[in-house]
Amino acid sequence: MLLHFTKMHGLGNDFMVIDMVSQNVRLPPEKIRRLADRRFGVGFDQLLLVEPPTNPDMDFRYRIFNADGSEVEQCGNGARCFAKFVRDKRLIGRDRIRVQTAGGNIELTIEDNGDVTVDMGLPRLEPEQIPYTADEREETYLMEVDDDIIEMSAVSMGNPHCVYVVDDTQTAPVEKWGPLIEAHPDFPRKCNAGFMQIVSREEINLRVFERGVGETMACGTGACAAVVAGRLRGLLDAHVKVNLPGGSLSIYWAGESSPVMMTGPATRVYEGYTRL
């Protein structure tokens, strides 16, 4: 059969987006891995599925699969692309969209300039909610990585993140330490590894080695997690510009008991068909 898809990206974090409201197809992990191959398939960081909701209070269900075929709970850059996709396809006529995800319900708002603001919900900081192996919640934890002891923060934005502060993201050991942190036994469901450089109280640089993908051009949940970690350590203000290799996001977090708000662009690259 021919499968219709849309190729999109959020700051270079690229996606294959499939309308499963009007199409019905089975995509097992091996087929997702084949589609993700950048030489023999479509090529993407994540596959995004737009489905009818199972919760009657939501407009859509949003499912995310990494390039390795594993399903994950949340993807912030993907959420912005999701909002643009359902509006462009006229699956919904409103600028405010309620979406059900495996990591919790989120709300997407399409701004007048075309950017998308995502209410990412409350960050999860208790170890059992992340999940992270620790007796109690701390602002930072010590972790052994490659015979070094590092101080890092553990945050969930619907998916688990380890945030490590570095002097310079350009020289940070992302390629070497990223896979080690991702698979660290203290994160029983693995994690996304964020390497954060503090530029000022209102700006950071960030590189993220994503679980099941590798380093990406941008990571929306990683940007949110980094700002939460920096705020809790007293390093950042509420409004923060997050510079990623693919571009910048605006993150706002008022503090505990408040949701994290992320604003940034979403871009359609092309429409295509592939034979399954």
Positions marked catalytic: 75, 219
Question: What's the CA gap between 45 and 213, in Å, rounded?
Answer: 6
Per DSSP, the residues of 193-251 read: EEEEEEEETTEEEEEEEETTTEE-S--HHHHHHHHHHHHHTT---SEEEEEETTEEEEE
H or E element in which residue 65 lies? strand 60-66
Q: Are strands 260-264 and 116-119 parallel, antiparallel or unpaired?
A: antiparallel
* C-alpha triplet 92, 95, 98: angle, nearest 5°: 70
Question: What's the CA gap between 18 and 4, in Å, rounded?
Answer: 7
Each residue of 89-106: b (16+ CB within 10 Å) or e?
Answer: eeeeeeeebbbbbebbbb
How many CB atoms lie under 10 A from the CB of residue 61?
Answer: 18
Question: What's the CA gap between 24 and 18, in Å, rounded?
Answer: 10
